[in-house]
Amino acid sequence: MGMAETSIPQALARAAGHGGSLTVLDAAMRPARLSLRELDERAAAVATGLRRAGVAPGDRVCVLAPTSPRMLLALFGLWRLGAVAVMLPHERRGDAGEARAFLAHRVAVAGATALLTDRAPEVRALLAGSPADGPASEVPDGFRVLDLDEAAAGVTGPPPPVPEADRLGMLQFTSGTTGTSKAVPVRQGQLVGNVLTCMEVLGMRPGHTYVSWLPFYHDMGIVSVAGLLAQGVHAVVLPTENFLRRPSCWMETVSTWRAEITAAPDSAYRLAAKAQQLRPAALDLSRLRVAINGAEAVTADIVDETLRVLGTSGMPAASLCPTYGMAETTLVVSAAGADRPVRVLGPEEGPAGGDGYPRPARPLVSCGRPLPGTGVSVRSADGRELPEGHIGEVQVCGPGVTDGYWRGPGAPPDTAGVLADGRLRTGDLGFLYEGELYVCGRIKDMIIAGGRNLYPEDYEIAADGVPGVRPGQVIAFSLPDTERMVVVAEGMGGEESLRRTARELFDRLRTTVQHAPAEVVVVRAATLPKTSSGKKRRGACRELYLSGGLQVVSGAR
């Protein structure tokens, strides 16, 4: 596949001569700043130390640590060495047995030789397990847990050779919304090139300031920071935990640092707008030029709420830029330009759909035009390219498309069912209209009821408007081998109010959507299954429903 002709270290060294910096905020929002020249020099020292510790170019090295200067130095040190970064979610996942199994599995899939962490003794003990558990058999022989502080300190000495653009830069695990998460191999040149193209399309420039709270185990988090720094942008990074505890800190940071660029998923903009409504802060968002909205479905109501609430603080209407992309395309496939307000098609506007799939019953947000050099086509189940306005599978080709799924060192990537004649089969349904891409939903998530194809998102968005339902915390799915569907919603309030919520939700859906659900279930807050990046896992929710594993408070049918 094509890509930029520079690796991350090559681009960083070039950008260092034109300014740019990395600022990392701690839990108390205190800044630690590195110029790009300092970052380049210290990354070389880290690479030298890692090589001395036995890490070789091409080795997969897991990184398990929260956002901090030392974590970022280790990350750029891995890239400087030519090693492959494998970023892992650092939050504890369930009990020790679950955390151990998750960590051992990721290490084994990556074929990792080492892991860098800020809590090395704890991780060593976790992987060793208890005598009753037996050894973590999935962890390869010779695997080492390295201390992040020691690695980030670096050592003096001749640095290793600078890697080229075709060197593998990271293994990015997919979100796993419809199945098991898979590892996607991404080359350094793709990390640089995809962001460079986005900058050109969206009018971002060296010297602009970018604010991000996104976790580095998420593709939007790691690719955006790496790619923008490599182009001479000032990056201001705050801990993900700060945003999760207090969503208002995101736009406060954008305002304080006078940022021109930021990025986040759709649901994060909802949280930022809600926070500003509840506790209005004196924000100045007038310098914001590019507010990328991606990584999950972009919804018209959140676009409207974001611009209505944050617009009073100066956020320009044209700054919100919906995008479409995924780990398998490095990051971005298409982007709405930052030169006009977001385009939204109502259910009765634009094309009516076709080729067996109905037009969704909700407004659809344009994800803009494909990036230059990237081709997007919409195809039927038998591979025919469909005309404009017809709904089918979105397929992508271009320099950002990766080679397939990782199967281990030396093995060719797995392309079965993924690549068709050089095109990535995304598994998403959508259509092109006047040159712009509109995404309808996931093929695997489609509901068949009453002999019709239905979109779960139509039900989930309709449910959001019912009092007592936690916004964005609704999952709809069909039951296997039946034409029955179920809607599960997280509720707010006591048991009596939740029973009332279930009845009101059932009545709302029965009268506002195409086909009434067989059952509505209200569960306790924060119990719906999500991916590590916060995406809904509809299949997992279905399994919990069938096995009785949901924390049900009330229901209606």
Give the tens place of pLDDT for each residue, 459-487: 888 888 889 999 889 999 888 777 788 99
| Band of pLDDT at residue 1, cut at 50, 70 and 90 | very low
CATH assignment at residue 130: 3.40.50.12780
Whole-number pLDDT of residue 459: 86
Together in a domain, 226 and 330? no
Residues 73, 88 within the same domain:
yes
Range of the domain at 390: 323-445
Question: Which residue, 222, 245, 268, sits at the end of a domain?
Answer: 245
Q: Which residue has the higher pLDDT, 94 or 509?
A: 509
Tens of pLDDT, residues 492-506: 888 888 888 999 999
The whole-number average pLDDT for the span 147-153 is: 92
For the chain, what is the radius of gyration of the CA atoms? Answer: 23
* Domain stops at, among 400, 420, 445: 445
- Model confidence at 2, pLDDT cuts 50, 70, 90, reads very low
First to last CA, the chain: 51
Same domain, 240 and 367: no
Give CA–CA dist 465/299, Å, rounded.
13
534 by Cβ neighbours in 10 Å (0-12 / 13-18 / 19+) ranks as middle
* Distances in whole angstroms, Cα of residue 538 to Cα of each of 177, 179, 180, 217, 512: 7, 10, 13, 22, 22
User: Number of structural domains, the chain?
Assistant: 3
Distance CA 456, CA 449 (A): 11
How far is 144 from 450, CA to CA, in rounded Å? 55
As a whole number of angstroms, the distance between CA 320 and CA 325 comes to 16
Is 114 in the same domain as 146?
yes
In eight-state DSSP terms, residue 53 is T
Using the 3D structure, point to which of 414, 445, 476 is the last residue of a domain: 445
**Cα diameter, the chain:** 71
pLDDT in tens, 137-146: 566 677 999 9
Q: What is the pLDDT of residues 82-111, one digit of tens each?
A: 999 999 987 655 677 788 888 888 998 999
Q: What pLDDT shows up at residue 472?
A: 85
pLDDT at site 451: 72
Beta strands in 279-374 (DSSP E): 290-293, 320-324, 334-335, 344-345, 353-354, 357-358, 364-365, 369-370
Query: So what's the pLDDT on residue 179?
Result: 53
Could you read off the pLDDT of 158-178 as tens digits, one per residue? 999 999 999 999 999 886 655
Residues 336-361 pLDDT 10s: 987 889 999 998 887 777 667 888 88
Where on the phi/psi map is residue 468: left (φ > 0), alpha (ψ -120 to 50), or beta? left
Is pLDDT of 293 > 90?
yes
Q: What is the pLDDT of residue 130?
A: 57
